[in-house]
Amino acid sequence: MLSKKTKVKYTEKKKKSKYPKVGFVVFDKWCKRCGICSELCIHNVFRIDEDGYPRPVKPVECNLCGFCITRCPDFALRMIEGKSGEHSA
């Protein structure tokens, strides 16, 4: 699939969540920084970094609604499931 370089991986380990833990992969090479994912997430899982890319800073708040992934127009966002902190893309 994608080369390792295009992947930027984020996870959060500290907080407890009632939902299964998830992490997100943002493919920066495909992301056009439209802001749809971060603006539409009602749980504010994403923060926009200084370059305009979304960074999932609070994945522990994610309720798995899938809204961000299905509305990303560029297939640049992926949710990965896994044990706490053990995410692999």
Q: Which residues bind another protein (CB under 8 A)?
A: 1-2, 29-30, 32-36, 39-40, 66, 69-76, 78-79
Among 21, 23, 76, 87, indicate the residue that binds ligand SF4 (CB under 6 A).
76
Q: Report the alpha-carbon distance of residue 57 to residue 78 in Å, rounded.
A: 15
Which of ligand SF4, another protein, none sits in contact with 70, Cβ below 5 to 8 A by type? another protein
Q: Determine, following the binding rule CB under 6 A, whether residue 20 of this chain makes contact with ligand SF4.
A: no
Q: Exposed, middle or buried, 73 (CB in 10 Å: 0-12/13-18/19+)? A: exposed
Q: What is the amino acid identity at position 70?
A: T
